[in-house]
Amino acid sequence: MISMVLRRIGNAVAVMVAVAFVAFMIFQFLGDPVQLMLNEQASQAERDALRIRLGLDQNFVMQFMLFITRALHGDFGISYRNQQDVMSLIAERFPATLELVLVSTIIALSIGIPLGVYAAIRKGSPIARLLTMFSMIGVSIPSFVIGILLILIFAVQLNWLPAFGRGDVVHFGSWTTGLLTPSGRSALVMPALSLALFQISFIMRLVTAEMLEVLRTDYVKFARARGLPNRLVHFRHALRNCLMPVVTMTGMMIGDLIAFALVTETVFQWPGMGQLFVQAVMFIDMPVMAAYLMIVSAMFVTINTIVDLIYLWVDPRLRQAGAARGYHAH
């Protein structure tokens, strides 16, 4: 067991080193930072001095080591564009992204699970078919299209909800939340919905599939045979059994959502770190791009590792087999 845990953690660390290498390569091969940072009048001497200060005069391996050491200290350098410490820029934006992702996950779970259950137990009924169709449409319409339409309807035409931004936020130390102010909450509605739509459909389809599978199992048939009321069978036995994969999948999706939120953040001008990244891509702001890549990957890897470990803990069969759990596809 312990060796399995160590191996998973070892894997995660190896992946992070590889991500760091990619981030480092972005620095190495894209745009000479010296060229970008100095103005054209800078003399050769000034250029050389900057080169030495940035450690660009050292060999490749040394530079990579330096990069990793700095990254471990949360030092990703200074944004070319904002001239500010990259780490604090990202840290400032992180609460907004996390809030958006968590709220849309909660919305997705609380809408997706019931709809999925319904579609499974009433399989074939017109409403269930409609729901299945709806979930299909939900995964098919790009979230930016949904976002644009929502803005047109609810902000421009009806004037019910703000068109952009996060509204007023309340500070708790370095953390900020918009959930405690009216304007913060109303600003969250459209971004959270448009981000949740894909998830709602995804969770709904997952729950339906799992439920159908469980409903076919013998013990559910026995439970029915014993004369237990349908409701009890569905919710006490069947639903409970398919919640585990739903919860793990949702957990793993959070990592993806943090990355995917950048589309929503762009559409709604949501001041999260995804928006920061998109701006950085537009302006080829290497330090921000590299830092964002590493931070999001680190979160992604951490979440996946934790989910893996929970799986190991819950399902003893995996401990012996040691087989890698297949990754989900979406």
Partner 1 sequence: MNSLTKLSLPGLGIMAALMLPLAASATADELRWGASRDIDSLDPYSYGSTFTISTLNHVYEGLVRYDDQLKIEPALATSWDDISPGVRRFHLRQGVKFHDGAPFTADDVIASLTRVSDPKSPLRGNLPAYQGAEKIDDYTVDIKVTENYPLILNDLTNILIFDKEWLVANNATAPTDVGAGIEGYATTHANGTGPFKVVSRKPDAETVFEANKEWWDKPRHNIDRIVFTPISSPATAVAALLSGQIDYMERAPLQDIPRLKQSPGIQVLAGNELRTVFFLFNRADKLVASDTGDKNPFNDAKVREALYRAIDIDLLQKKVMRGLSRNTGSMVAPAIPGYVPELDERIGHDPEKAKALLAEAGYKEGFSFTFVCDNNVYVNEEEICQAVSSMWSRIGLKPNLDTAPTSIQTVKFESGKFDVGILGWANEPMIDSYSILVQVAHSKTGTSGVFNWGGWKDAEVDQLIDSASKELDREKRLALQSKALMKLKQNVDFLPLHQQPMAWALGPNVKSVVQLSDNKSRHWLTVLNK
Partner 2 sequence: MHIDEAGQMGRMALWRQRLSEAWDSDLAYSFRGSPTALISALILLIVALTALLAPVIAVQNPYDLTQLFLDKAELPPIWSDGGESPYLLGTDVQGRDVLSAILYGSRISLLIGFASVLASMAIGIAVGLICGFAGGHVDNLLMRVGDFVLSIPTLLVAILVSALFRELLPVNLRDACAPLILMASIAITSWVQYARIVRASAMVEARKEYVLAAKILEVRTSRILLTHILPNVMTPVLVTATLNLGLAILAEATLSFLGVGMPVTQPSLGTLIRIGNQYFFSGSWWVVLFPAFQLGLIILVVNLLGDWLRDALNPKLQ
Give the residues lining the site for partner 1 (CB under 8 A). Answer: 33-41, 50, 53-54, 77-78, 80-85, 89, 92-93, 103, 106-107, 109-111, 113-114, 117-118, 151-152, 155-156, 159-165, 167, 182-183, 185-189, 192, 231, 234-235, 268-269, 271, 275-276, 279, 282-284
Residue 138: closest CA among 108, 161, 159: 108
Contacting range for partner 2; rule: CB under 8 A; set: 53-61, 90-98, 230-238, 277-285? 277-285
Is residue 327 a contact residue for partner 2 (CB under 8 A)? yes
Q: How far is the CB of 182 from partner 1 (least distance, A)?
A: 3
Half-sphere exposure at residue 4, Cβ-oriented, CA atoms within 13 angstroms: 18
Distance in angstroms (rounded) separating the CA atoms of residues 164 and 150: 11
Phi, psi of 85 (to 5 degrees): -60, 125
Distance in angstroms (rounded) separating the CA atoms of residues 328 and 322: 18
Residue 119: closest CA among 202, 205, 220, 217: 205
Is residue 141 a contact residue for partner 2 (CB under 8 A)? yes
- Interacting residues with partner 2 between 89 and 128 (CB under 8 A): none
Contacting range for partner 2; rule: CB under 8 A; set: 74-82, 219-227, 307-315, 322-330? 322-330
Q: How far is the CB of 216 from partner 1 (least distance, A)?
A: 21
Q: How far is the CB of 285 from partner 1 (least distance, A)?
A: 8
Residue 44 tokens read as 């050769």
Residue 104 tokens read as 């849309």
- DSSP strands (E only) in the chain: 170-172, 175-177
Phi, psi of 158 (to 5 degrees): -90, -20
Contacting range for partner 2; rule: CB under 8 A; set: 34-42, 45-53, 255-263, 309-317? 255-263
- The interface partner of residue 281, options being partner 2, partner 1, none and the CB cut-off 5 to 8 Å by kind, is partner 2
